[in-house]
Structure 1
Amino acid sequence: MTQAIWPVATFSMFYSLAISAVDYWVPLDAYELPPGVATFPGTFLGIVLAFRTNSSYSRWWEARILWGRITNDSRTFTRQLISFTKPATSPGDNSETTRRIVNRHILWCHTLAASLRDEDVSSNPEAKIASDELQTYRQCRNAANRILLQQAIDLQQLHQSEALDRWQALELDRSLRRLTDHMGGCERIRHTPFPPMYAMLIHYLVFAFIIILPFALLEMPALGLIAFTVPVSIVFLAMEKVAQVLETPFADTPSCTPMLALCRNIEIDARQMLGDTDTPAVLQPIDGVLI
């Protein structure tokens, strides 16, 4: 974000200096604007930017809430599956089908995160799933949705084999339905961009305000003009850039939703509930950023 702000700050500084120099040699009294001409647009622009920032923050916060629900429902789904299917006397005593469903759910989390970032979902080195099954998912347009279908098929087979009774199967199906709802919410945010015309209008208004601001402050000395216009320009442009970053909560940016870290936490919790001891390590922030 700073890479986009500093060029504008430099432009604002030299632009204000140029206006002051021209006014010194060729008085610009005929072009001087009343202070109110800058005050009113500045107030209006601040309100519009605040509205856009709040709208973008709402998208970012909703994305984080959805992934928090995915985390919680993943724990619930794993707990239900392990406790419903032949209750074990020890944490590691789980059927092959139960392990396969849990491993497939871990794959679902990673696949969903990759699809939201437009990354390749065809390979996942951490997936403990048969290669032929993985090949089936790679051929699907929406691999995450196909994984949920396979989960439902396996749960139905467990019900038919009487490993699950009717009510247990219904509870697990409700968990799958909630996960489907969360996936749909994430896809809605990902595929519904902020209205581009509205964003473009605000961008042009910010630059128009930067252009007219010095003409409302011609009575100030050159240094005072620069000291006032440059910080104001940076504030308005920074607000616009913050809104642009927050409106894409799944992009690979420092302020994005840390989906990879959340997927790793889900994987650790699921494998520990299965009784595994060789769980992966928790992802740590890199340069203070958790992805």
Structure 2
Amino acid sequence: MVGVLTIFQYIEGTLKALNQPLKKAEANSFQGEKNKLNEVNVLLLGSDSREDNSARTDSIMVAHYNSETQQIKLISLMRDMYVSIPGHGMQKLNTAYSYGGPELLRKTIKSNLGMDIHHYAIVDFEGFEKAVDLIAPNGIKVDIPYEMSDGIDMTLDKGTQQLNGNELLGYVRFRQDRLSDFGRVQRQQEVVSKLKEEAISLNSVSKLPELLDLLKSYVDTNIETSTILTIGKDLLTNKNSEIQTIRIPEDGSFQNERYEGIGEVLEVDLEHNKGALEKFLREEK
């Protein structure tokens, strides 16, 4: 542990000297309040700049970090939740991003679920691939339940596989899941947890400057480098902390509906899910 922290302190000093924040274009319009107490909520969005419609987000998560407990919690928000978008009426949740980027999505989450968002990070999928290959050059081990191929430009065979960055992206993006979009959310949470374990290893810590340089090219965020370093140092001193996860809406708190001009949506019991979310964030492991 001493060796890991020594390396981290060297890296921290180097990066502070460089003084290069990760802020990009959306940061000026994002109005999330500065985090209160010792908790940080970061809106995590996945996007693909290679697709024609770059205003769509493929995944919506919120990473919650408590510096007192040094605990990370991951909240997955289903894209098809039928919610009220400020200024636009009832729509699917991910439509908020299409209308007004991360700021409107932040407002929508706040008004429907009561959760404050302090920062955002939009991860380009090409950057995801490169980050995986940097953090885990030997790949990430996953157990694939059945062959996956439709819509991901590759074939992932059933069984335990060691996936590189491109393959892992296909694994989390596969849409023809037997559990529909719910299965895809489960895989996203699984991959985030495994990447966290890889990222706090000694080998990955030594690559932090290279990783942050990569983030500057492929991540649009308003998180300061110093905040990332502080959280990273806390994680190194608490390696045994597992990421806790929740999916909103919870089972039994929604029903499938179809609306003309919108398509299939999840009609959600928002009060139930607000309560479930508050309980999840309050509980300590």
Q: TM-score, normalised by structure 1?
A: 0.23
User: More strand per residue: 1 or 2?
Assistant: 2
User: More helix per residue: 1 or 2?
Assistant: 1
Higher relative contact order (CA 8 A, sep 6+): 1
Q: TM-score, normalised by structure 2?
A: 0.23
